[in-house]
């Protein structure tokens, strides 16, 4: 057991030394100061878009500031369509559209740097911060009989006690109920892995995957069911694109300091 452990330490030490020498000798001539990027995200409970600003601490680390806006869906949402006048689809039993606005702060650390413009940089990151769920009621066109052959339409919210799928002709305008919006405060924590593959030193193209925990002060009233939640665990994938700003050249002194650090690690 001790021999295996010692062998693992030797292999790991040689790998880090070789990687560090290669990184120092082939390090890009630009020190990326800041970056801005927009992301499109697909979650297990919806989808969203976001903006990220990154402020470099050093070559490997940066602070990140994020603003994300997403749609939250309930796992029991199933689309239906009317058999009467309208062919518009709707979700039977849905009470509210729920949107989530998040503001986060975190850090990103680069594990593997690009060795050439065609390679991939791998980073991990995390962010945490407040969020607010925005609940906007949904109104439906409800059919009611005027006589044996004529039906009228009225606008109503869904009520499981009196409505069936056959009563619904479709949804009304999105703006119906806009004055009845309610807010539910919350917080989130997000962790992800970033694969940056842009072939330009000043542009960002990256794929990300990770997990997020969202919690709110109350259940989010998405559906007319008993299992609306206030705690969500979400997996996500996203595509992020943007640009590098305020790029600066790396000084020779900085390269020397990095090289000394790797030599010191090898001696230990």
Residue of 52, 97, 58, 106 lying closest to 74 (CA atoms): 97
3-state percent breakdown (helix, strand, coil) of the chain, nearest 5: 20, 50, 30
Contact 29, 250 (CB under 8 A): yes
> Do 22 and 268 contact (CB within 8 A), yes or no?
no
Angle subtended by helix axes 252-267 and 2-26, to nearest 10: 170
**Nearest 10 degrees: CA dihedral of 245, 248, 250, 254?**
-90
Q: Give the model's pLDDT for residue 37.
A: 96
For the chain, give the number of residues.
268
26, exposed or middle or buried, with CB in 10 Å at 0-12, 13-18, 19+?
exposed
Where are the chain's structural domains?
1-27+256-268, 31-249
**DSSP bridge partners of 136:** 97
Cα separation, 71 vs 196, in Å, equals 26
Question: Could you tell me if 181 and 135 are in contact, meaning their C-beta atoms sit under 8 angstroms apart?
Answer: yes
How is residue 100 written in tokens?
């989530």
Residues 6 or more apart in contact with residue 14 via CB below 8 angstroms? none
CA distances from 171 to 85, 87, 249 (A): 12, 11, 57
pLDDT in tens, the chain (268 residues): 455 544 444 444 444 444 444 444 444 445 567 899 999 999 999 999 999 999 988 878 999 999 999 999 998 887 776 666 555 678 888 999 999 999 999 999 999 888 777 789 999 999 999 999 999 999 988 888 777 677 778 888 888 778 777 778 888 889 999 999 999 999 999 999 999 998 887 889 999 999 999 999 999 999 988 888 999 999 999 999 999 887 665 555 555 555 555 454 445 5
Token pair listed for 184: 């539910």
So what's the pLDDT on residue 249?
56
Beta carbons within 8 Å of 51's beta carbon, 6+ residues apart: 36, 37, 38, 39, 66, 67, 68
Secondary-structure class of domain 31-249 per CATH = mainly beta
């Amino acid at each position: 057991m001790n021999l295996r452990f010692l062998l693992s330490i030797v292999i790991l030490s040689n790998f880090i030394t070789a990687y560090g020498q290669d990184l120092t000798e082939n390090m890009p001539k630009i020190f990326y100061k800041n970056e801005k990027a927009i992301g499109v995200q697909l979650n297990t409970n919806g989808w969203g878009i976001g903006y990220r600003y990154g402020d470099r601490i050093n070559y490997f680390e940066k602070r990140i500031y994020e603003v994300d806006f997403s749609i939250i869906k309930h796992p029991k949402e199933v689309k239906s369509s009317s058999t009467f006048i309208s062919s518009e689809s709707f979700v039977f039993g849905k009470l509210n559209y729920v949107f989530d606005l998040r503001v986060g702060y975190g850090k990103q650390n680069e594990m593997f740097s690009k060795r050439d413009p065609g390679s991939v940089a791998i980073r991990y990151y995390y962010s945490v911060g407040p969020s607010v769920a925005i609940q906007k009621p949904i109104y439906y066109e409800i059919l009611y009989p005027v006589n044996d052959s004529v039906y009228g339409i009225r606008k109503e919210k869904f009520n499981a006690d009196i409505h069936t799928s056959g009563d619904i002709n479709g949804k009304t305008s999105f703006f119906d109920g806009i004055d009845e919006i309610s807010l539910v405060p919350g917080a989130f924590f997000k962790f992800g892995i970033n694969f940056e593959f842009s072939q330009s030193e000043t542009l960002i193209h990256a794929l990300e995957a990770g997990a997020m925990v969202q919690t709110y002060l109350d259940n989010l009233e998405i559906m007319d069911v008993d299992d609306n939640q206030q705690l969500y665990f979400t997996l996500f994938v996203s595509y992020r694109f943007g640009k590098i700003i305020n790029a600066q050249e790396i000084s020779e002194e900085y390269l020397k300091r990095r090289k000394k650090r790797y030599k010191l690690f090898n001696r230990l």
